[in-house]
Chain A
Amino acid sequence: MSQYVLRRLLIAIPSLLGISIVLFVVLALAPGDPFSELATNPNVPPEVQAALRAKFGLDDPIHLRYLHWLNAMLHGDWGFSFVSRMNVDTLILQRLPATLYVIGSAQILALLIAIPVGVYAATKPYSLFDQIANTLAFVGFSLPTFFTGILFILIFSVTLDWLPFVYTTDIKATGIHWVLEMIRQAIMPVAVLGLFQAASMTRFVRSAMLDVIRLDYVTTARAKGLGQAKVIVKHVMRNAMIPVVTLIALQMPAVFGGAIVTEQIFRIPGIGSLLISSILSNDTPVVMAVTFVFACLVVLFNLIADVLYGWLDPRISLR
């Protein structure tokens, strides 16, 4: 088992190197220059510009720049944001809590809705409950978050004036009021994202349950007189959750990566909005770092999904 994990981690090194090369080359080919602002600024003399370009190695050939970046990365230097004028790692750490809080809560909300609803719907297929759940799920994932987000803002902020529609990190309150305000401002983004996720996950849970519920060993369990609840939880859910857990593990990078659209709508200062604003302002070091971290998370959670799969299903042995 630990050997398997170690081997997978070693295999991850070349693939991460490959990913970083692709990212680096694509960003280098992209139009735009982080120093374009300096170039048009009459207050900066041309020789200072040239010195700065030389200092940052902007005119070096691409392979040298890549090796330079890689070397710095290996030494824990993530680079410097030209726009924010601070270190990239500090910048990411600044943005991460908001993303983790909002997107993480949305995922938890999605699970809290999807698992009970999906399981219950599957135990009574084509019942009224199942039909309603299915219809709502269908509506739920047909509506994009930018639509529901704006709809929520219109209803709950503009018309009813119950909730703030701009997320802020510096709440002017302390103690319990700060906590309440944090919850209040997260309600809409969490609901928009969570319900969207819950819709597709409910359908996934339901179909995973239905696949298992008609299998022979479920009849065996019923024939033991275990009772409906125990049959469903111990024999059906235990098996149906194997693909569901894997799916959730594979979705985890998104929790760190942020939801770009939702973060934009509610002005949440998270990773997703950092990525968008960095791309728009040609802040290459930030774009490179964020996308690379994202790639690492995808690789890591793929491994976690595989390990979980092996742990949940005794038929799979990891060697």
Chain B
Amino acid sequence: MAPLLEIKGLKTHFSTDDGILQAVDGVDITINRGETLCVVGESGCGKTVTAMSILKLIAMPPGRIAAGQIIFEGRDLVPLTSNQLDEIRAKEIGFIFQEPMTSLNPVLTIGEQIAESLRRHEAVTRKQALDRTIEMLKLVQIPNAEGRVHNYPHQFSGGMRQRVMIAMALACKPKLIIADEPTTALDVTIQAQILDLLQDMKERFGMAVMLITHAMGVVAETAQRVVVMYAGKVVEEALVDDLFGNPGHPYTQGLIRSIPRIDLDSEHKTRLEAIGGSVPILINPPVGCRFAPRCKFAMNVCTEKEPLLREIAPGHRMACHLGDPNLGAAS
């Protein structure tokens, strides 16, 4: 079966005063129907920009999709105008944003904000839209949904607002939900509840989820497949067990080693390892591998030639020169 969404060679660039910022530079991501795909990477690696590019939600200008295809159910979204994309936004692809505190309009009731999406995409009356909204609020476990539907966002806590955001994204029963760090702004106990809810909704509606996060713990709990991004590029892609069991790319290894372990006893506990250095600025990025300046295994070839994604095991691909048989003597 054809994948639900296929991103091919996506390049999203931003014009800045200092030059062109290549936030996303040739990214390939595939999402199958009903699957949970996690996109991980540190801040500024292009995860959010990739996600926002799918529905052209980046500010254009200064942003621009410079190259690539975004094929959703066999149709390329890149050439579509904003008006044409409006038919797909919320109806086919729903979005959950990072900041529940600022992602809801403060002067409209939450009921109105959920219902307007329904009224836009489906032929429903105001009454039907309200009923559906209340039903959605119940589904995301907001107590006293009938009363709360007429409340304003400031009358909800952060966790409750994120539930509202989920209800909003799910209202039109989209085939794909893109959740951009949905738990980052919440405290830890609420994080787990929101992830459970998301998982629950996914199973109920059978949709695919693209979960963007920088927390490896979240990845381990929710993902089926994982894409690791670094400096605007995909560096590794694997099923979740393969990735944690046998991480190929030095960056992925570093990310996994930076997870705090509570399962080790005190003798085996060591200082948490951090990856030294920081993400390169993506205006005139370095030639070769972008991770090379921070990589402990960096070789000469790494600063000369860009590593391409290659399959190291079935369904497991990475972009690193380490152990590349084609490199021959150089490695």
Contact = CB atoms under 8 A, between A and B. Distances in A.
Contacts, number: 78
Interface in A262-319: 312-315
Contacts of B90: 223-225
Nearest to A220: B103
B67 interface: no
B57 A219 contact: yes
B163 to A, nearest CB: 15
B96 to A, nearest CB: 9
Contacts of B42: none
Interface string A40-67: 0000000000000000000000000000
Contacts of A222: 57, 89
Contacts of B108: 234-235, 238
Interface stretch (B114-122, B128-136, B195-203, B284-292): B114-122
Nearest to A314: B152
B86 to A, nearest CB: 4
B121 A216 contact: no
B89 A314 contact: no
A215 B99 CA distance: 11
Contacts of A235: 105, 108
B97 A219 contact: yes
A319 to B, nearest CB: 16
A94 B68 CA distance: 72
A313 B97 CA distance: 23
A129 interface: no
A227 B87 CA distance: 9
B224 interface: no
A19 interface: no
B57 A223 contact: yes
Contacts of A234: 108, 116
Given A227-B83, A315-B154, A216 B107 contact: no
B120 A214 contact: no
A217 B121 contact: no
B188 interface: no
A217 B87 contact: no
A124 to B, nearest CB: 10
Say what secondary structure dominates the interface of chain A: helix
Contacts of A217: 102-106
A223 B152 contact: no
A226 interface: yes
Contact of A224 (B82, B89, B102): B89
A239 interface: yes
B87 A225 contact: yes
Contacts of A315: 106, 152, 154
B152 A225 contact: no
Contact of A220 (B85, B88, B104, B107): B104
Interface in B281-317: none
Given A225-B89, A225-B120, A220 B97 contact: yes
B57 A225 contact: no
B88 A221 contact: no
A3 interface: no
A242 B108 CA distance: 13
Contacts of B14: none
A225 B107 contact: no
Contacts of A312: 107
Contacts of B85: 225
Given A225-B90, A234-B116, 11 more contacts: A217-B106, A220-B104, A220-B113, A220-B165, A223-B55, A223-B89, A224-B90, A225-B87, A226-B117, A239-B106, A242-B107
26 contacts: A215-B102, A216-B97, A217-B102, A217-B104, A219-B97, A219-B103, A220-B97, A223-B55, A223-B89, A224-B116, A224-B117, A224-B120, A225-B89, A225-B117, A225-B121, A227-B83, A227-B86, A227-B120, A234-B108, A234-B116, A238-B105, A239-B105, A239-B106, A242-B107, A312-B107, A314-B154
